Amino acid sequence: MEEKSYKEYLQHITTFIFDVDGVLTNGNVNITTSGELLRTMNVRDGYALKFAVNAGYNVAIISAGQNEGVKLRLEGLGVNPVYLGASNKAKQFETYISKNNIKAKNVLYMGDDIPDHAVMKRVGLPSCPQDAVPEIKSVSKYISHKKGGEGAVRDVIEQVLKVQGKWEF
C-alpha cells in the first residue's frame, strides 16, 4: 500500500496540539541569577495560534515544562487548555481528546523530542520542527522546513488553514 502524502491529512485536522520547548521555543533556556528560566517565542507562531483559535479550531498545549509565563502568554492568545507539568503526555492527550470528544485522527500534534513520541504515534498528523531529534522525525508524517521557535508552528497551522480555505490572505 502506498504511503499517503501528509497533505492528504490536512483537510481533516480540527485540533492542533503543541509541545512548548523545542517547538514554540528554540529549546534554549536562559537562566537568570535568581534561577528564573527565560524562553523566547516567535510572534508569528503566536499570530497563527490566535488565528487558529479565532477560526474555531481546538488548540491545546501539552508540555512537561512548568513556566507560568509561558502559560500566561499562550492563554493570552486564546489557547486553552495549556497543560503544564505533563509528565505523561500520552495520558494527558487521551484525557483531553476524550473530554472534548475529539478523534485522534483529526489531531495534528507537533513535538520535537522523546517525551512526545507516544502521543505522536496516536494522532492523525504527527509533525515536528526541522531540528527535532531523529526518533521524532522517524514517526512524523510532516517535518517542517522551519526550526522550533522559528516559525514551525506557523508553518503547520497556515498549511492546514489554507487547505481548508480558512487562511484569508
State the DSSP string of 80-105.
Answer: --EE-S-S-HHHHHHHHHHHTT--GG
Contact call for residues 147 and 130 (beta carbons, < 8 A): yes
Q: Is the pLDDT of residue 1 over 80?
A: no
- Rg of the chain in Å (alpha carbons): 15
Q: Looking at the domain 7-103+120-163, which fold is it?
A: Rossmann fold (3.40.50)
Is 155 assigned to a binding site?
no
DSSP classification of residue 145: S
Beta strands in 99-139 (DSSP E): 107-110, 125-128
Mean pLDDT of 73-95: 96
Rounded to whole angstroms, the Cα distance separating 121 from 112 reads: 13
Contact call for residues 118 and 89 (beta carbons, < 8 A): yes
pLDDT of residue 3: 58
Is 131 assigned to a binding site?
no
* Domain residue ranges in the chain: 7-103+120-163
Q: Residues of the chain with pLDDT > 70: what percent?
A: 98
The set of residues, in sequence order, having a beta carbon less than 8 Å from that of 149 and lying 6+ positions away, is 22, 23, 24, 25, 26, 27, 40, 41, 42, 45, 129
Residue 104 backbone phi and psi in degrees, to 5: -60, -30
pLDDT digits (tens, 9 = 90+) for 15-52: 999 999 999 999 888 999 998 888 899 999 999 999 99
Mean pLDDT of 137-153: 97
Is 45 assigned to a binding site?
no
Q: Is the pLDDT of residue 160 over 90?
A: yes
* Widest CA span in the chain: 56
DSSP classification of residue 20: S
Read off the pTM.
Answer: 0.95
- Is the bond preceding 115 in cis, omega lying within 30 degrees of 0? no
